[in-house]
């Protein structure tokens, strides 16, 4: 099950005013989100100073259609240590996946790293003035997901959907795990819609604001999509084409 495809399909339907790509790494997600929801205000956040400079030089960020901020999103505003992996940054992510493993937390094992100090901001501090705007979040922050969500109290009701990297095993010192994140988001009024955890203990989950989660059409298409993707060997494009063809009345009958 590809949670990114589901998230992007829902983005089109929810049509949020603001999309945050938190832990952007190379800017790819932010660029794609802007392509499929062109009217949204898309902002990428990358705390690794080396990756930030690379993203800022991409045409989509130079022309201002997508914003980029050199900051880590966390549960408090200020300055703190950030662990930058010592890898060849000219290699590209497709060659060395460790490029995107910088974190506010120190990894339990493997790899040397350099400590730098970065600015931290909370979602509340960034979005408190956007009173009437709906929000979608893409979060990939290497063990710091819980802290990002903890800084989202005042604006939680305006967040319609969250795609977040989660772990069931501890990869970073002091990190909170998947069950902790579920409890936190349920308290904030969210519903776990989809999760995909791999054997090594890391994966992704999509949470929906309860007002969105109980939209019958979205729920129905989610279940059908997951079934098709896991059971039938057809292309993802073909799956999405089939899903769009289902009328609402048919969905209402089956739910």
Q: Report d(CA 171, CA 107) in Å as an integer.
A: 6
Per the CB < 8 A criterion, the answer to whether 38 and 192 are in contact is no
CA distance 160 to 212: 7
Q: Are residues 241 and 140 in the same domain?
A: no
Residues 129 and 240 in one domain: no
Let me know whether 113 and 69 are in one domain: yes
Residues 189 and 66 in one domain: yes
Beta bridge partners of 162: 137, 207
Residue whose entry in the numeric block shows the structure tokens 């662990």: 83
* 224 and 150 part of one domain: no
Q: What is the pLDDT of residues 73-127, one digit of tens each?
A: 999 999 999 999 998 888 776 777 788 899 999 988 766 689 999 999 999 999 9
69, 134: one domain = yes
pLDDT on residue 88: 86
Number of domains the chain is built from:
2
Tell me: the pLDDT tens digits for 141-156?
A: 999 999 999 999 999 9
Domain check: are 148 and 186 in the same one?
yes
Residues 234 and 198 in one domain: no
Q: What is the dihedral of CA 147, 149, 152, 153, to 10 degrees?
A: -90
Q: Residues 243, 161: one domain? A: no
Please tell me whether residues 178 and 132 are part of one structural domain. yes
Identify the domain containing residue 127 by its residue range.
Answer: 3-214
Domain at 200, CATH number:
3.40.50.150
Beta strands in 3-51 (DSSP E): 18-22, 41-45
pTM of the model: 0.85
179: tokens are 């069950």
246 and 147 housed in the same domain: no
State yes or no: pLDDT of 158 exceeds 90.
yes
pLDDT at res. 128: 79
Q: pLDDT, tens digit, for every residue of 69-86?
A: 999 999 999 999 999 999
Task: Kindly give, in sequence order, each residue whose CB lies less than 8 Å from that of residue 93, ignoring residues fewer than 6 positions away.
Answer: 25, 26, 99, 100
Q: Taking the CB of residue 211, how many other CB atoms lie within 10 A of it?
A: 11
Asked if residue 16 and residue 80 are part of one domain, the reply reads: yes
């Amino acid at each position: 099950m590809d949670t990114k495809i589901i998230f992007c399909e829902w983005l089109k339907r929810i049509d949020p005013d603001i999309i945050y790509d938190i832990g952007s790494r190379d800017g790819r997600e932010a660029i794609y989100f802007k392509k499929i929801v062109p009217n949204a205000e898309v902002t990428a956040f990358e705390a690794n100073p080396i990756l930030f400079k690379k993203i800022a030089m991409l045409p989509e960020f130079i022309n201002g259609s997508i914003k980029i901020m050199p900051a880590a999103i966390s549960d408090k505003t200020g300055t703190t240590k950030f662990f930058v992996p010592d890898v060849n940054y000219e290699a590209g992510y497709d060659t060395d996946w460790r490029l995107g493993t910088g974190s506010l937390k120190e990894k339990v094992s493997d790899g040397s790293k350099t400590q730098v100090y970065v600015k931290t901001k909370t979602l509340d501090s960034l979005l408190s003035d956007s009173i009437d705007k709906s929000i979608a979040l893409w979060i990939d922050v290497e063990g710091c997901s819980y802290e990002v969500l903890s800084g989202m109290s005042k604006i939680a009701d305006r967040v319609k959907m969250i795609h977040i990297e989660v772990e069931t095993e501890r990869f970073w010192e002091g990190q909170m795990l998947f069950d902790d994140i579920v409890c936190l988001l349920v308290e904030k009024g969210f519903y776990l819609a989809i999760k995909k955890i791999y054997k090594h203990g890391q994966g992704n989950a999509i949470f929906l604001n309860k007002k969105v989660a109980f939209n019958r059409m979205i729920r129905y298409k989610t279940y059908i999509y997951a079934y098709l993707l896991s059971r039938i060997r057809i292309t993802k494009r073909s799956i999405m084409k089939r899903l769009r063809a289902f009328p609402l009345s048919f969905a209402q009958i089956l739910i």
